Amino acid sequence: MRRADALAVEAGIPSLVLMENAGRAVADAVVEMSGAARPVVICAGPGNNGGDGFVAARLLAERGWPVQVLMLGDRDALTGDAAEMARRFAGPVAPWAAHRFDHRSIIVDALFGAGLSRPLVEDAAALIAAINGSGAPIVAVDLPSGIHGDSGAVMGIAVRARRTVTFFRRKPGHLLLPGRIHCGTTTVADIGIPDHVLEAIRPHLFANEPALWRDSFPRLEPDGHKYARGHVVVLSGELPSTGAARLAARGALRAGAGLVTIASPRSALAVNAAASLAVMVREAEGPAGFASLLSDRRLNAVVLGPGGGVGDQMRDKVRRAAADGRALILDADALTSFGENPKELFTILTNHKLSTAILTPHAGEFDRLFSSIEKIPSVKQKLEAALAASHETGAVLVLKGSDTVVAGPDGRAAIAENAPPDLATAGAGDVLAGIIAGLRAQGMPAFEAAASAVWVHGEAANTFGPGLIAEDLPEALPVVYRRLRN
Protein backbone atom coordinates (compact mmCIF):
# COMPACT_ATOMS: atom_id res chain seq x y z
CA MET A 1 0.00 0.00 0.00
CA ARG A 2 2.91 2.35 0.63
CA ARG A 3 4.04 1.61 -2.91
CA ALA A 4 0.52 2.13 -4.26
CA ASP A 5 0.28 5.50 -2.49
CA ALA A 6 3.67 6.55 -3.86
CA LEU A 7 2.79 5.52 -7.42
CA ALA A 8 -0.51 7.41 -7.20
CA VAL A 9 1.35 10.54 -6.12
CA GLU A 10 3.84 10.05 -8.98
CA ALA A 11 0.82 9.89 -11.30
CA GLY A 12 -0.20 13.37 -10.14
CA ILE A 13 -2.68 12.66 -7.34
CA PRO A 14 -1.73 14.73 -4.26
CA SER A 15 -1.32 12.70 -1.09
CA LEU A 16 -3.64 15.12 0.73
CA VAL A 17 -6.37 14.22 -1.75
CA LEU A 18 -5.86 10.52 -1.02
CA MET A 19 -6.15 11.20 2.72
CA GLU A 20 -9.21 13.40 2.23
CA ASN A 21 -10.89 10.64 0.22
CA ALA A 22 -10.00 8.03 2.84
CA GLY A 23 -11.45 10.14 5.64
CA ARG A 24 -14.61 10.78 3.60
CA ALA A 25 -15.10 7.03 3.15
CA VAL A 26 -14.85 6.57 6.91
CA ALA A 27 -17.33 9.38 7.57
CA ASP A 28 -19.74 7.83 5.06
CA ALA A 29 -19.46 4.47 6.84
CA VAL A 30 -20.33 6.10 10.18
CA VAL A 31 -23.42 7.73 8.66
CA GLU A 32 -24.50 4.45 7.02
CA MET A 33 -24.10 2.60 10.29
CA SER A 34 -26.27 4.97 12.32
CA GLY A 35 -28.43 6.98 9.95
CA ALA A 36 -29.44 9.63 12.49
CA ALA A 37 -26.74 11.81 14.01
CA ARG A 38 -25.30 10.58 17.29
CA PRO A 39 -22.11 11.33 19.22
CA VAL A 40 -18.93 10.16 17.52
CA VAL A 41 -15.63 9.64 19.30
CA ILE A 42 -12.65 9.43 16.98
CA CYS A 43 -9.53 7.91 18.51
CA ALA A 44 -6.61 9.26 16.51
CA GLY A 45 -3.11 7.83 16.47
CA PRO A 46 0.26 9.39 15.73
CA GLY A 47 0.48 8.61 11.99
CA ASN A 48 -1.49 8.78 8.76
CA ASN A 49 -4.24 6.58 10.22
CA GLY A 50 -4.82 9.40 12.69
CA GLY A 51 -4.85 11.84 9.78
CA ASP A 52 -7.68 9.86 8.17
CA GLY A 53 -9.51 10.11 11.49
CA PHE A 54 -9.17 13.91 11.61
CA VAL A 55 -10.64 14.13 8.09
CA ALA A 56 -13.61 11.99 9.14
CA ALA A 57 -14.06 14.16 12.24
CA ARG A 58 -14.17 17.37 10.20
CA LEU A 59 -16.58 16.00 7.60
CA LEU A 60 -18.94 14.56 10.21
CA ALA A 61 -18.93 17.84 12.12
CA GLU A 62 -19.78 19.67 8.90
CA ARG A 63 -22.80 17.36 8.54
CA GLY A 64 -23.99 18.31 12.01
CA TRP A 65 -22.79 15.29 13.96
CA PRO A 66 -21.39 15.87 17.48
CA VAL A 67 -17.73 14.84 17.20
CA GLN A 68 -14.86 14.63 19.63
CA VAL A 69 -11.31 13.54 18.85
CA LEU A 70 -9.28 11.69 21.46
CA MET A 71 -5.56 11.82 20.77
CA LEU A 72 -3.11 9.03 21.55
CA GLY A 73 0.13 10.93 21.97
CA ASP A 74 0.82 14.58 21.30
CA ARG A 75 -1.12 16.38 18.57
CA ASP A 76 1.85 18.68 18.02
CA ALA A 77 4.00 15.65 17.18
CA LEU A 78 1.97 14.90 14.03
CA THR A 79 3.84 15.49 10.79
CA GLY A 80 3.10 15.76 7.08
CA ASP A 81 -0.43 15.21 5.80
CA ALA A 82 -1.69 14.05 9.21
CA ALA A 83 -0.57 17.33 10.81
CA GLU A 84 -2.31 19.32 8.08
CA MET A 85 -5.59 17.42 8.50
CA ALA A 86 -5.41 17.90 12.26
CA ARG A 87 -4.96 21.64 11.68
CA ARG A 88 -8.09 21.76 9.51
CA PHE A 89 -10.27 20.21 12.24
CA ALA A 90 -11.68 22.96 14.46
CA GLY A 91 -13.47 20.75 16.99
CA PRO A 92 -12.36 19.53 20.41
CA VAL A 93 -9.28 17.33 20.78
CA ALA A 94 -8.58 15.82 24.18
CA PRO A 95 -6.28 13.25 25.77
CA TRP A 96 -7.97 9.87 25.82
CA ALA A 97 -7.21 9.04 29.45
CA ALA A 98 -9.80 11.43 30.89
CA HIS A 99 -12.61 10.20 28.62
CA ARG A 100 -15.40 7.89 29.73
CA PHE A 101 -16.70 5.97 26.70
CA ASP A 102 -20.48 5.72 26.28
CA HIS A 103 -22.15 2.80 24.52
CA ARG A 104 -24.53 5.25 22.82
CA SER A 105 -21.64 6.74 20.82
CA ILE A 106 -19.96 5.47 17.68
CA ILE A 107 -16.21 4.99 18.09
CA VAL A 108 -13.85 5.39 15.14
CA ASP A 109 -10.57 3.51 15.57
CA ALA A 110 -8.02 5.64 13.70
CA LEU A 111 -5.04 4.63 15.83
CA PHE A 112 -2.64 2.44 13.84
CA GLY A 113 -4.13 0.59 10.83
CA ALA A 114 -2.22 -2.00 8.78
CA GLY A 115 1.29 -0.71 9.37
CA LEU A 116 1.64 -1.93 12.95
CA SER A 117 4.74 -4.09 13.47
CA ARG A 118 5.12 -4.44 17.26
CA PRO A 119 2.85 -5.49 20.14
CA LEU A 120 0.76 -2.78 21.75
CA VAL A 121 1.55 -1.97 25.37
CA GLU A 122 0.94 0.69 28.01
CA ASP A 123 -1.27 3.60 26.88
CA ALA A 124 -2.16 2.09 23.48
CA ALA A 125 -3.17 -1.23 25.04
CA ALA A 126 -5.16 0.51 27.76
CA LEU A 127 -7.00 2.65 25.20
CA ILE A 128 -7.92 -0.37 23.08
CA ALA A 129 -9.16 -2.21 26.16
CA ALA A 130 -11.37 0.80 26.99
CA ILE A 131 -12.70 0.95 23.41
CA ASN A 132 -13.54 -2.76 23.39
CA GLY A 133 -15.18 -2.53 26.79
CA SER A 134 -17.37 0.42 25.89
CA GLY A 135 -20.18 -1.57 24.27
CA ALA A 136 -20.27 1.03 21.48
CA PRO A 137 -20.19 0.09 17.77
CA ILE A 138 -16.70 0.56 16.35
CA VAL A 139 -15.62 1.56 12.84
CA ALA A 140 -11.96 0.75 12.16
CA VAL A 141 -9.89 2.77 9.71
CA ASP A 142 -7.93 0.51 7.32
CA LEU A 143 -7.49 -2.38 9.80
CA PRO A 144 -8.48 -2.73 13.47
CA SER A 145 -5.60 -1.42 15.58
CA GLY A 146 -3.55 -4.26 17.01
CA ILE A 147 -4.00 -6.58 14.01
CA HIS A 148 -0.86 -7.35 12.01
CA GLY A 149 -1.48 -6.43 8.40
CA ASP A 150 0.49 -9.34 6.93
CA SER A 151 -0.48 -12.20 9.25
CA GLY A 152 -3.82 -11.24 10.83
CA ALA A 153 -2.28 -11.90 14.25
CA VAL A 154 -3.28 -9.98 17.38
CA MET A 155 -0.34 -7.86 18.52
CA GLY A 156 -1.00 -8.14 22.23
CA ILE A 157 -4.50 -6.66 22.07
CA ALA A 158 -6.66 -5.55 19.16
CA VAL A 159 -9.82 -3.57 18.48
CA ARG A 160 -12.94 -5.63 17.79
CA ALA A 161 -14.71 -3.60 15.11
CA ARG A 162 -18.22 -3.94 13.78
CA ARG A 163 -17.08 -2.48 10.49
CA THR A 164 -13.72 -1.83 8.83
CA VAL A 165 -13.11 0.60 5.98
CA THR A 166 -9.96 -0.09 4.01
CA PHE A 167 -8.57 1.51 0.88
CA PHE A 168 -7.78 0.37 -2.68
CA ARG A 169 -7.24 -3.31 -1.84
CA ARG A 170 -7.60 -5.53 1.22
CA LYS A 171 -4.53 -6.78 3.06
CA PRO A 172 -3.83 -10.33 4.26
CA GLY A 173 -4.83 -9.31 7.77
CA HIS A 174 -8.39 -8.68 6.57
CA LEU A 175 -8.69 -12.34 5.46
CA LEU A 176 -6.50 -14.34 7.82
CA LEU A 177 -7.74 -15.30 11.27
CA PRO A 178 -8.10 -13.87 13.82
CA GLY A 179 -7.81 -10.58 11.94
CA ARG A 180 -10.90 -11.26 9.84
CA ILE A 181 -13.00 -11.72 12.98
CA HIS A 182 -11.77 -8.42 14.44
CA CYS A 183 -12.66 -6.57 11.21
CA GLY A 184 -16.38 -7.28 11.30
CA THR A 185 -17.72 -6.31 7.87
CA THR A 186 -14.94 -4.98 5.63
CA THR A 187 -15.59 -2.56 2.80
CA VAL A 188 -13.00 -1.37 0.29
CA ALA A 189 -13.13 2.32 -0.60
CA ASP A 190 -11.89 3.86 -3.83
CA ILE A 191 -9.75 6.80 -2.75
CA GLY A 192 -8.37 7.66 -6.18
CA ILE A 193 -5.44 5.25 -6.53
CA PRO A 194 -5.50 4.15 -10.20
CA ASP A 195 -5.65 0.41 -10.87
CA HIS A 196 -2.66 0.60 -13.20
CA VAL A 197 -0.29 0.87 -10.21
CA LEU A 198 -0.79 -2.91 -9.84
CA GLU A 199 1.20 -3.37 -13.03
CA ALA A 200 4.26 -2.09 -11.19
CA ILE A 201 3.49 -3.72 -7.83
CA ARG A 202 2.63 -7.12 -9.35
CA PRO A 203 0.96 -8.58 -6.26
CA HIS A 204 1.11 -12.34 -5.71
CA LEU A 205 -1.45 -12.54 -2.90
CA PHE A 206 -5.14 -12.92 -3.66
CA ALA A 207 -8.50 -13.44 -2.07
CA ASN A 208 -9.64 -16.88 -3.21
CA GLU A 209 -12.51 -15.94 -5.51
CA PRO A 210 -13.65 -17.30 -8.90
CA ALA A 211 -12.01 -14.44 -10.80
CA LEU A 212 -8.65 -15.92 -9.80
CA TRP A 213 -9.16 -19.31 -11.49
CA ARG A 214 -12.39 -19.23 -13.52
CA ASP A 215 -10.58 -19.10 -16.89
CA SER A 216 -8.99 -22.51 -16.26
CA PHE A 217 -12.03 -24.16 -14.64
CA PRO A 218 -13.09 -27.24 -16.68
CA ARG A 219 -15.78 -26.71 -19.29
CA LEU A 220 -17.72 -29.55 -20.85
CA GLU A 221 -17.58 -29.72 -24.63
CA PRO A 222 -20.50 -30.95 -26.78
CA ASP A 223 -18.34 -33.73 -28.22
CA GLY A 224 -16.70 -34.63 -24.93
CA HIS A 225 -16.72 -38.07 -23.28
CA LYS A 226 -15.82 -39.52 -19.90
CA TYR A 227 -12.33 -40.61 -20.96
CA ALA A 228 -11.47 -37.02 -21.83
CA ARG A 229 -12.30 -35.94 -18.28
CA GLY A 230 -9.63 -38.00 -16.59
CA HIS A 231 -9.51 -40.97 -14.25
CA VAL A 232 -8.86 -40.53 -10.52
CA VAL A 233 -7.59 -43.34 -8.32
CA VAL A 234 -8.06 -43.09 -4.55
CA LEU A 235 -6.14 -45.39 -2.24
CA SER A 236 -8.29 -47.04 0.43
CA GLY A 237 -7.11 -48.23 3.82
CA GLU A 238 -7.98 -51.47 5.54
CA LEU A 239 -11.53 -52.47 6.48
CA PRO A 240 -11.99 -50.20 9.58
CA SER A 241 -10.98 -47.01 7.70
CA THR A 242 -12.54 -47.20 4.24
CA GLY A 243 -14.93 -44.27 4.67
CA ALA A 244 -12.30 -41.60 4.05
CA ALA A 245 -11.38 -43.02 0.64
CA ARG A 246 -15.03 -43.32 -0.35
CA LEU A 247 -15.62 -39.67 0.60
CA ALA A 248 -12.63 -38.60 -1.50
CA ALA A 249 -13.79 -40.74 -4.41
CA ARG A 250 -17.28 -39.26 -4.30
CA GLY A 251 -15.80 -35.76 -4.19
CA ALA A 252 -13.68 -36.51 -7.28
CA LEU A 253 -16.65 -37.87 -9.19
CA ARG A 254 -18.89 -34.91 -8.34
CA ALA A 255 -16.06 -32.52 -9.23
CA GLY A 256 -16.25 -33.78 -12.80
CA ALA A 257 -13.71 -36.58 -13.19
CA GLY A 258 -14.84 -38.95 -15.95
CA LEU A 259 -13.98 -42.07 -13.97
CA VAL A 260 -12.97 -42.77 -10.39
CA THR A 261 -11.48 -45.97 -8.99
CA ILE A 262 -10.87 -46.94 -5.37
CA ALA A 263 -7.68 -48.97 -5.01
CA SER A 264 -8.61 -51.34 -2.22
CA PRO A 265 -6.77 -53.91 -0.13
CA ARG A 266 -8.26 -57.37 -0.34
CA SER A 267 -9.77 -57.16 3.17
CA ALA A 268 -11.85 -54.12 2.23
CA LEU A 269 -12.94 -55.07 -1.29
CA ALA A 270 -16.43 -56.15 -0.33
CA VAL A 271 -17.33 -53.11 1.75
CA ASN A 272 -15.84 -50.68 -0.78
CA ALA A 273 -17.73 -52.36 -3.63
CA ALA A 274 -21.02 -52.51 -1.71
CA ALA A 275 -20.84 -48.83 -0.81
CA SER A 276 -19.98 -47.57 -4.31
CA LEU A 277 -22.08 -47.32 -7.46
CA ALA A 278 -20.54 -45.08 -10.11
CA VAL A 279 -17.15 -45.39 -8.38
CA MET A 280 -15.22 -48.48 -9.47
CA VAL A 281 -13.25 -50.68 -7.06
CA ARG A 282 -10.05 -52.57 -7.91
CA GLU A 283 -7.90 -54.76 -5.72
CA ALA A 284 -4.48 -53.29 -4.91
CA GLU A 285 -2.87 -55.40 -2.19
CA GLY A 286 0.22 -53.73 -0.73
CA PRO A 287 2.72 -51.53 -2.55
CA ALA A 288 3.24 -54.08 -5.34
CA GLY A 289 -0.49 -54.35 -6.04
CA PHE A 290 -0.80 -50.58 -6.04
CA ALA A 291 2.12 -50.25 -8.46
CA SER A 292 0.50 -52.82 -10.74
CA LEU A 293 -2.72 -50.82 -10.80
CA LEU A 294 -0.78 -47.67 -11.65
CA SER A 295 0.68 -49.34 -14.72
CA ASP A 296 -2.55 -48.22 -16.41
CA ARG A 297 -1.52 -44.79 -17.70
CA ARG A 298 -5.14 -43.69 -18.02
CA LEU A 299 -5.19 -43.20 -14.24
CA ASN A 300 -3.95 -39.62 -14.38
CA ALA A 301 -4.65 -38.33 -10.83
CA VAL A 302 -3.92 -40.11 -7.54
CA VAL A 303 -5.13 -39.38 -4.01
CA LEU A 304 -3.07 -40.86 -1.19
CA GLY A 305 -3.69 -40.46 2.52
CA PRO A 306 -7.37 -40.46 3.49
CA GLY A 307 -7.64 -43.43 5.85
CA GLY A 308 -4.69 -45.05 4.11
CA GLY A 309 -2.58 -45.89 7.14
CA VAL A 310 0.71 -44.52 8.46
CA GLY A 311 4.07 -46.21 7.93
CA ASP A 312 6.47 -47.86 5.53
CA GLN A 313 3.83 -49.13 3.11
CA MET A 314 2.33 -45.67 2.68
CA ARG A 315 5.75 -44.15 2.06
CA ASP A 316 6.43 -46.81 -0.59
CA LYS A 317 3.09 -46.10 -2.29
CA VAL A 318 3.85 -42.38 -2.38
CA ARG A 319 7.20 -43.10 -4.02
CA ARG A 320 5.56 -45.32 -6.65
CA ALA A 321 2.77 -42.84 -7.40
CA ALA A 322 5.25 -39.99 -7.75
CA ALA A 323 7.65 -41.88 -9.98
CA ASP A 324 5.94 -41.13 -13.29
CA GLY A 325 4.61 -37.62 -12.81
CA ARG A 326 0.88 -38.16 -12.38
CA ALA A 327 -1.19 -35.45 -10.72
CA LEU A 328 -0.58 -36.30 -7.06
CA ILE A 329 -2.65 -35.21 -4.06
CA LEU A 330 -1.20 -36.10 -0.64
CA ASP A 331 -3.37 -35.78 2.45
CA ALA A 332 -3.60 -37.01 6.04
CA ASP A 333 -1.74 -40.32 6.52
CA ALA A 334 0.42 -39.79 3.43
CA LEU A 335 1.85 -36.66 5.04
CA THR A 336 2.07 -38.01 8.58
CA SER A 337 4.01 -41.02 7.30
CA PHE A 338 6.94 -38.71 6.52
CA GLY A 339 6.80 -36.79 9.80
CA GLU A 340 10.02 -38.31 11.14
CA ASN A 341 11.93 -37.80 7.90
CA PRO A 342 10.31 -34.96 5.94
CA LYS A 343 13.32 -34.53 3.68
CA GLU A 344 12.58 -37.94 2.20
CA LEU A 345 9.22 -36.59 1.02
CA PHE A 346 10.83 -33.38 -0.22
CA THR A 347 13.24 -35.44 -2.34
CA ILE A 348 10.37 -37.46 -3.78
CA LEU A 349 8.47 -34.30 -4.65
CA THR A 350 11.52 -32.58 -6.13
CA ASN A 351 11.95 -35.54 -8.48
CA HIS A 352 8.23 -35.44 -9.36
CA LYS A 353 9.02 -33.14 -12.26
CA LEU A 354 6.29 -33.84 -14.77
CA SER A 355 3.50 -32.55 -12.56
CA THR A 356 3.23 -30.35 -9.47
CA ALA A 357 2.04 -32.30 -6.45
CA ILE A 358 -0.53 -30.89 -4.02
CA LEU A 359 -0.24 -31.30 -0.23
CA THR A 360 -3.34 -30.71 1.91
CA PRO A 361 -2.37 -30.62 5.61
CA HIS A 362 -4.35 -29.18 8.48
CA ALA A 363 -2.35 -27.34 11.15
CA GLY A 364 -1.42 -30.46 13.14
CA GLU A 365 -0.26 -32.36 10.07
CA PHE A 366 1.70 -29.32 8.91
CA ASP A 367 3.52 -29.07 12.23
CA ARG A 368 4.35 -32.78 12.26
CA LEU A 369 5.84 -32.53 8.77
CA PHE A 370 7.53 -29.13 8.82
CA SER A 371 8.30 -28.16 12.44
CA SER A 372 11.87 -29.49 12.21
CA ILE A 373 12.66 -27.35 9.14
CA GLU A 374 14.15 -24.12 10.51
CA LYS A 375 13.50 -22.06 7.39
CA ILE A 376 9.73 -22.73 7.58
CA PRO A 377 7.85 -20.47 10.05
CA SER A 378 5.40 -21.75 12.64
CA VAL A 379 1.91 -22.49 11.39
CA LYS A 380 0.84 -19.51 13.55
CA GLN A 381 2.27 -17.41 10.71
CA LYS A 382 -0.03 -19.14 8.28
CA LEU A 383 0.62 -17.30 5.04
CA GLU A 384 4.39 -17.20 5.45
CA ALA A 385 4.45 -20.84 6.57
CA ALA A 386 2.47 -22.07 3.57
CA LEU A 387 4.62 -20.11 1.11
CA ALA A 388 7.86 -21.32 2.69
CA ALA A 389 6.69 -24.95 2.72
CA SER A 390 5.60 -24.70 -0.92
CA HIS A 391 8.97 -23.27 -1.89
CA GLU A 392 10.80 -25.99 0.06
CA THR A 393 8.82 -28.89 -1.44
CA GLY A 394 8.11 -27.57 -4.92
CA ALA A 395 4.47 -28.54 -4.31
CA VAL A 396 1.28 -26.55 -3.99
CA LEU A 397 0.45 -26.28 -0.29
CA VAL A 398 -3.18 -26.24 0.90
CA LEU A 399 -2.93 -25.25 4.58
CA LYS A 400 -6.47 -25.91 5.74
CA GLY A 401 -8.69 -24.07 8.21
CA SER A 402 -11.37 -21.40 8.27
CA ASP A 403 -8.89 -19.24 6.36
CA THR A 404 -7.36 -21.93 4.12
CA VAL A 405 -4.23 -20.72 2.35
CA VAL A 406 -3.26 -22.13 -1.04
CA ALA A 407 0.39 -21.40 -1.79
CA GLY A 408 2.37 -22.17 -4.94
CA PRO A 409 6.11 -22.56 -5.46
CA ASP A 410 5.98 -19.56 -7.81
CA GLY A 411 5.12 -17.33 -4.81
CA ARG A 412 1.40 -16.98 -5.43
CA ALA A 413 -1.02 -17.46 -2.56
CA ALA A 414 -4.80 -17.35 -2.23
CA ILE A 415 -6.66 -16.93 1.06
CA ALA A 416 -10.17 -18.35 1.45
CA GLU A 417 -12.88 -16.46 3.30
CA ASN A 418 -16.04 -18.39 2.36
CA ALA A 419 -15.78 -21.44 4.62
CA PRO A 420 -18.59 -21.54 7.19
CA PRO A 421 -18.12 -23.04 10.68
CA ASP A 422 -20.33 -25.96 9.57
CA LEU A 423 -17.38 -27.21 7.52
CA ALA A 424 -15.50 -28.27 10.67
CA THR A 425 -16.79 -31.84 10.51
CA ALA A 426 -15.16 -35.27 10.20
CA GLY A 427 -14.35 -36.24 6.63
CA ALA A 428 -14.64 -32.77 5.08
CA GLY A 429 -10.94 -32.75 4.29
CA ASP A 430 -11.22 -36.12 2.52
CA VAL A 431 -13.89 -34.69 0.24
CA LEU A 432 -11.66 -31.67 -0.47
CA ALA A 433 -8.78 -33.94 -1.51
CA GLY A 434 -11.15 -35.70 -3.90
CA ILE A 435 -12.44 -32.46 -5.41
CA ILE A 436 -8.88 -31.32 -6.04
CA ALA A 437 -8.12 -34.65 -7.74
CA GLY A 438 -11.25 -34.43 -9.87
CA LEU A 439 -10.22 -31.01 -11.17
CA ARG A 440 -6.61 -32.06 -11.73
CA ALA A 441 -7.77 -35.12 -13.66
CA GLN A 442 -9.56 -32.78 -16.05
CA GLY A 443 -6.33 -30.91 -16.74
CA MET A 444 -6.63 -27.92 -14.42
CA PRO A 445 -3.20 -26.57 -13.30
CA ALA A 446 -2.21 -27.46 -9.74
CA PHE A 447 -2.49 -24.03 -8.10
CA GLU A 448 -5.77 -23.19 -9.80
CA ALA A 449 -7.21 -26.66 -9.09
CA ALA A 450 -6.37 -26.38 -5.41
CA ALA A 451 -7.71 -22.84 -5.08
CA SER A 452 -10.94 -23.55 -6.94
CA ALA A 453 -11.51 -26.77 -4.99
CA VAL A 454 -11.14 -24.90 -1.70
CA TRP A 455 -13.67 -22.31 -2.86
CA VAL A 456 -16.28 -24.76 -4.18
CA HIS A 457 -15.82 -26.88 -1.03
CA GLY A 458 -16.70 -23.82 1.08
CA GLU A 459 -19.60 -22.90 -1.17
CA ALA A 460 -20.96 -26.43 -0.98
CA ALA A 461 -21.01 -26.11 2.79
CA ASN A 462 -22.75 -22.73 2.55
CA THR A 463 -25.29 -24.21 0.14
CA PHE A 464 -26.19 -27.08 2.46
CA GLY A 465 -26.12 -25.03 5.68
CA PRO A 466 -26.61 -26.21 9.28
CA GLY A 467 -26.43 -29.90 10.03
CA LEU A 468 -23.79 -30.49 7.37
CA ILE A 469 -21.82 -33.74 7.41
CA ALA A 470 -19.09 -34.71 4.98
CA GLU A 471 -21.39 -36.91 2.88
CA ASP A 472 -23.47 -33.83 2.05
CA LEU A 473 -20.61 -31.92 0.43
CA PRO A 474 -20.38 -33.82 -2.88
CA GLU A 475 -24.16 -33.71 -3.24
CA ALA A 476 -24.17 -29.92 -2.93
CA LEU A 477 -21.56 -29.46 -5.67
CA PRO A 478 -24.01 -29.48 -8.62
CA VAL A 479 -25.68 -26.31 -7.29
CA VAL A 480 -22.29 -24.61 -6.90
CA TYR A 481 -21.23 -25.66 -10.38
CA ARG A 482 -24.43 -24.27 -11.90
CA ARG A 483 -23.68 -20.90 -10.29
CA LEU A 484 -20.15 -20.92 -11.69
CA ARG A 485 -21.36 -21.68 -15.21
CA ASN A 486 -24.04 -19.00 -15.26
> Smallest Cα–Cα separation from 43: which of 161, 153, 176?
161
Query: Does the pLDDT of residue 228 top 70, yes or no?
Result: yes
CA distance linking residue 284 with residue 124, whole number of Å:
62
Question: What percent of the chain stands above pLDDT 70?
Answer: 99
363-396, pLDDT tens digit by residue?
999 999 999 888 999 998 999 999 999 999 999 9
Pick the range with the lowest mean pLDDT from 42-46, 79-83, 349-353, 449-453. 349-353
Q: What average pLDDT is seen over the chain?
A: 95
Query: Does the pLDDT of residue 199 top 90, yes or no?
Result: yes
Instruction: Name the residue type at position 402.
Output: S
Question: Which residues make Cβ contacts (< 8 Å) with residue 2, sequence separation at least 6?
Answer: none
CA distance linking residue 8 with residue 12, whole number of Å:
7
CA angle, 126 as apex, 125 and 128 as ends, to 5°?
A: 65
Q: Residue 354: its pLDDT value, please?
A: 65
Preceding amide of 178 cis, omega within 30:
yes
Q: Residue 250: its pLDDT value, please?
A: 97
Query: Does the pLDDT of residue 190 top 90, yes or no?
Result: yes
419-440, pLDDT tens digit by residue?
999 999 999 999 999 999 999 9
CA angle, 18 as apex, 17 and 23 as ends, to 5°?
A: 95
Distance from the Cα of residue 240 to its chain's centroid: 33
120-176, pLDDT tens digit by residue?
999 999 999 999 999 999 999 999 999 999 999 999 999 999 999 999 999 999 999
Region 210-485: CATH code:
3.40.1190.20
> Smallest Cα–Cα separation from 366: which of 330, 314, 402?
330
Longest dimension (CA), the chain: 82
Domain at 2-203, CATH class: alpha beta
> Smallest Cα–Cα separation from 358: which of 312, 404, 291?
404
- Please list the residue range(s) of the chain that carry CATH number 3.40.1190.20: 210-485
Q: What is the pTM of this model?
A: 0.95
Query: Does the pLDDT of residue 40 top 90, yes or no?
Result: yes
Instruction: Name the residue type at position 43.
Output: C
Query: Does the pLDDT of residue 43 top 90, yes or no?
Result: yes
- Please list the residue range(s) of the chain that carry CATH number 3.40.50.10260: 2-203
CA distance linking residue 170 with residue 221, whole number of Å:
37
**H/E run at residue 95:** strand 93-95
Q: Residue 353: its pLDDT value, please?
A: 65
How many Cβ atoms sit within 10 Å of the Cβ of residue 344?
A: 14
